[in-house]
Amino acid sequence: MSLLNKICSPEHTQFWAPQTAWGKEHEETARQAYAAATASIHLNFQCATAGLHISVEKPFLAATPDGLVTCSCCGEGVLEVKCPYNGRNGTVKELALFKSACVSLTGGKLRLRTDHSYYYQVQLQMFVTQRKYCDFVLWTVREFVMLRVYYDSEFSRMPALL
């Protein structure tokens, strides 16, 4: 396929890797598990699809969160779902043992590593959508874990974003 055809007709361009296929195959399952668990502990919880969002403040930035979430108790946030291929049959705590893992385990508590690309991804999503938190969901065959990540205003002052 020619480069021009790939640019003009991206729907005909197919990228496939086992990791990508795994994520696409299980993302909706993870999203539904998150929504069911979250709705039971939040008031007036809603989770909607997001689509592409372009920053009003910096229109050269855009993001596509996996969802937009709202509730009366926490306000507005974004949802980002990851179904990691490596560690897919284990627990999320076991996943944290991988050197390249997006999460770390400190004192028995999981957190999204601030030096991982997913942290930058969710900070950008919050900046672009002007929402104050991200529910970051990690899903494996055995469990799912939701980590609440809050917007870091210092992130938007990074030289690369100015």
135 found inside a domain: yes
CATH of the domain at 115: 3.90.320.10
pLDDT tens figures, 15-30: 678 888 888 889 999 9
38 lies in which domain range?
Answer: 14-161
Q: Let me know if residue 3 belongs to a domain.
A: no
- Of the chain, the end-to-end C-alpha distance in Å amounts to 37
Quickly state the pLDDT bin for 36 (edges 50, 70, 90): very high
Check residue 155 and give its pLDDT.
81
Is 5 domain-assigned? no
Within a domain: residue 8?
Answer: no
The verdict on residue 2 lying in a domain is no
Q: What is the DSSP string of 41-103?
A: TSTT-EEE----EE-SSSTT-EE--SEEEEETTTEEEEEEEE--STTTTS-HHHHTTSTT-SE
Contact 47, 32 (CB under 8 A): no
Q: Is residue 93 part of a domain?
A: yes
pLDDT digits (tens, 9 = 90+) for 57-97: 999 999 999 999 999 999 999 999 999 998 899 999 998 98
Split into its structural domains, the chain has a count of 1
b/e map of 10-41 (b: 16 or more CB within 10 Å)? eeeeeeeeeeeeebeebbeebbebbbeebeee
Confidence category of residue 13, pLDDT binned at 50, 70, 90: low
